[in-house]
Structures are given as C-alpha cells and as structure tokens.
Structure 1
Amino acid sequence: MARYTGPTTKIARKFGEAIYGADKSFEKRNFPPGQHGNNKRRGKKSEYAVQLQEKQKAKYTYGILERQFRGLFKKASASRGITGEVLLQLAESRLDNVVFRLGIAPTRNGARQLVSHRHITVNGEIVNVPSYSLRAGDVIAVREKSKSLEAIENSLANNSNVYEWLTWNGETLQGTFVTAPERLQIPENIKEQLIVELYSK
C-alpha cells in the first residue's frame, strides 16, 4: 500500500500550517524549510503555484497520493453538487479519516495502520482497506479482540473532538457515520476551489 512516509514537520513548514496536528518542532520553526526559508523577500507565487500548493496540502493532509486523489476528483466531478465540496466530502468519508475523527487513533497515519492491521470493523465485518468509502448509516467499531489495545485506549482518553456528522458510543467503542459532512463542518483549512481550477486546466 503506497503512502507518504517522509518527514512530517518539513511538510508542515512548507505549507506554514501544522497539517499533521500538534507539533513542537513546527512551533519552533514555523517558516519554510531550506537555507532561504526565513527570507521574507521571496517572489510572488504564480497562480499555478498557488493552486498546486493547495492541492499538495490537501493530499498530505488526508494522506492520499496523486493517483488516488485524481480518482477522487473525477468521482467528485461526476457527482451532483459543488465539485470542490464533494471532493472534500469524499476525502472525509474514507475509513481511515473517520477512524481518526472518532478519536480511535490520534493521527490519520495511526488510523491507517489500525485499519490495515485489521483492528476496525464496518457493519460487523473487518475492513482492512484505509480508502474504503463509508456511506450514511455505516457503523464503525473497534474489533472485539482489539478493544484492550493501549494505543486505542490512550487515543480515546485524550480525544475531546465532537463532530455533528458522527456519533460515538464510548462503552461499546463503536460509532456511526451519520452522513457526509457539509463544508462548514469540515475543519481543514483547504481552499478547494483552487484545486478544482488546477484540475480543470
């Protein structure tokens, strides 16, 4: 399964945002990497460069590589609704993202690992495909044998996020994907229209 495994702080510094969550290293050096990183006199970026950076930010945020991301865009383009919003809804509907949102894992990378290692079930069946697309009403749960995993217990104990489009039962360790989120319910700072403009060229 292809995925990005390089340094995360460097990527966060590139975009000027902690896209992978709280990061002490990023807080200390929140300027672009490289020997000219702190130089305020960098030239103005072209329209294409701005659009490309926004697409790269979305890809790194959700942990999706180019081929998968392009596939999501094609699917969003063929769907009803605003293409950019549908694109983010599709990304949010991925199983690894929902496991992260529910607090079962502290990061999307951690969520992807839990799914791949068969710790997560969907509607009672084990699903080990992180990109699995959830539908309204799907029930996501921690597999019975995995409920005592320390990593999962610690993540849930430290999670305080609540999302209107997800429900969670702390006793049974299962949640429901109620519906795809509206754009206002997605907290990611992504200008999806720039991505649409880039792919539409």
Structure 2
Amino acid sequence: MARPRTPRFKLSRHLGVNVFNHPKALNRGIKKHKLSEYGEQLLEKQKLKAYYGVMEKQFRRYVRESLSAKERPEQLLIQNLERRLDSITYRLGFAPTLRMARQMVNHGHILVNGNKVDIPSYRVNVNDLISLKEKSRKIEEFVSNFTSIPVMVPYMSKDSANFSGTLVRLPLLEEVPIDVRPIKVFEFYSRV
C-alpha cells in the first residue's frame, strides 16, 4: 500500500493550511512568500493531494477522469475524492483524522452494505450504508469517536444507534469543507 510519508506538520506549514486536522499542525507559524502562477497551481495541487492523502499516480487518474466528463470537472474531481471510502469514514466521524480513517478501512473495521471493504479508495455510491463491523463496536475509541464527532456536511446522514451512515447525495463543491481552488489543479495539469 502506497501512502504519503512526508512530515505532516512540515507539509501543513508549507501549504499554509491545516490539511491534517491536527491542533498542533500550524503552531510554529507560516512563512509567506510570493508565488508565480506555476507556483500557485502546484501549491493547490499539493494541497488537494494532502487533504485526501492520495499519491500522484492515482491523483492524476482522478484528474483525467474529471476532465473527460461532460460536467464541471472541478465539481466531479471533488465528488470523486469525497466518495472515497476513507473520506466517507472520516466525514461520518468514525475517526478524528483521515489517516486514522484510512487505517480503519485497511484493517477491515468498515462495512459497505454489510460487506467488508478494506480498500480506502473504494468509491461509495449514493445511498450505500457505511457501518462499523459488529466486533469493532466493542473498541472504546471507535465508539467514543463516532458518538462525539458530529457530521459537519449536509450530504451525509448519520445513525448513531446503529453505528452507520449514508451518503445521501453527491456533494457540491461549495459544501466540502476544504480550502482549495480545483481550477488551479486543472491549469497545472494542462501545462504538463
């Protein structure tokens, strides 16, 4: 399994945004410097990749797929990244960070429509039921995370009693709680 192994806090300071949702990520401060047009495009691409923890090859595939569609490509790119199982697990509150959500999926704690799925990049469809495995409901950390972390996005619903949630509809670009300009990402890839 390939995953980014860069220092998290250093990357957050470089990007100027707390992409890992960690309270201490930006403690040391951010150095501001003037960027060229290419530098802005590269920074936006790196930010989006860091938010979702996606490697370059897979990210390029998401971009290509979005550009080939007839819809707004920036909308489709964000939707596809948000529909990843690790991202859905994180948004539902099973884990406080995306890294922990990815680990939960890898270790087989998450079920999709009653079936174990251990692939973090698995694409969840609308109305799929995402739930915590019965055996995993005995792990105190998972239970406390799920009950204490509220769903902050309108395109998901959570059933606390059954430790489950669903993707109600596809997310709109404006609803996703990330600070990134996807159009710059497409400008970056149009250069290459």
TM-score range, shorter chain: over 0.9
Extract unaligned runs of 5+ from structure 1.
33-39
SS of corresponding position for 1:168: strand
Gaps of at least 5 residues in structure 2 are none
Q: C-alpha distance in 1, partners of 2:75/2:140?
A: 36
| TM-score in terms of structure 1 length | 0.91
- 126, 130, 133: which one pairs with 2:123? 133
Equivalent residues in 2 for 1:143-182, closer than 5 Å:
143-182=133-172
| Structure 1 residues 191 and 25, CA gap change in structure 2 (3 angstroms) | closer
Note if contact 2:12-2:25 (Cα within 8 Å) is conserved in structure 1: no
C-alpha offsets along residues 42-66 of structure 1, whole Å, 9 cap, x if unaligned? 4x32111110010001001100000
Q: TM-score, normalised by structure 2?
A: 0.95
Q: What CA deviation, in whole Å up to 9, does each residue of 1:82-113 have, x standing for no partner?
A: 11111011000000000000000111100000
The answer to whether 1:88 aligns with 2:87 is: no
Q: 2:19: which partner in 1?
A: 19
Q: Is the 8 A contact 1:9 1:23 kept in 2?
A: no
Q: 1:164 to 1:25 in 2, by over 3 A?
A: closer
Counterpart in 2 of 1:46? 36
CA deviations 1:134-191 (Å, max 9, x no partner) are 1111110001111111221221233123321111100100111112101111110010
| Paired AA for residue 29 in structure 1 | R
Secondary structure of the structure 2 residue equivalent to 1:30: coil
* Aligned residue number for residue 36 of structure 1: none
Q: Which structure has the larger Rg?
A: 1
RMSD: 1.3
Q: Structure 1 stretches (4+) deviating beyond 4 angstroms?
A: none
Amino acid at match of 2:28: R
How far is 1:25 from its partner? 4.8
The one-letter code matched in structure 1 to 2:10 is K
Identity rate, percent: 35
Aligned partner letter, 2:178 = E
What code does the residue aligned with 2:4 have? Answer: Y
Q: 1:76, CA displacement in angstroms?
A: 0.9
Residue 90 of structure 2 corresponds to 100
The one-letter amino acid of 1:191's match is R
